[in-house]
Amino acid sequence: MDITTLEISNSRKMTVNTPIIRNPLDVTDLADWGVIPTMIEGTSHTSGKLLHKNANGDSECGIWVCTPGKWECHVTRDEFCHFLSGRCTYVRDDGEVIEITPGTAAFFPQDWKGVCTVHETVRKVYMIR
């Protein structure tokens, strides 16, 4: 999290207490979030940085990084993602294929189910609610 002082004009400054992450592609102080528990092939290791989590824990946002592998995916709450780097493919249980490349934004509704295959380590910023 970054508490920032913004210069509004030459004579005024304002402290901003809003959680922000500057240049999320450059963030290196990521926490180890472990291996995906529903692996089909390989061993996808995850890490990330939590930007904010509300008091009751039903909403959070941050950075998520995942190494190559293939696993079963069940989205348990609505999730918006903006993928910054890497490549992966999501295949929904009904056969819909979603190819992810850098710059892709996607919304996965609660109870989305399918398979995720990470071809090149992915990094995304996300919001879960």
For 38-65, how does the pLDDT look when each residue is reduced to its tens digit (9 = 90+)? Answer: 999 999 999 999 999 999 989 999 999 9
Nearest to 124 by CA among 98, 96, 99, 105: 105
Give the CATH number of domain 24-128; options: 3.90.1150.10, 2.60.120.10, 3.40.50.720, 3.40.50.300. Answer: 2.60.120.10
Mean pLDDT over 94-122 rounds to 98
Quote the pTM value. Answer: 0.85
CB 114 within 8 A of CB 88: no
Spans of all domains in the chain? 24-128
Mean pLDDT of 80-100: 98
Burial environment of residue 75 by CB neighbours within 10 A (0 to 12, 13 to 18, 19 or more)? middle
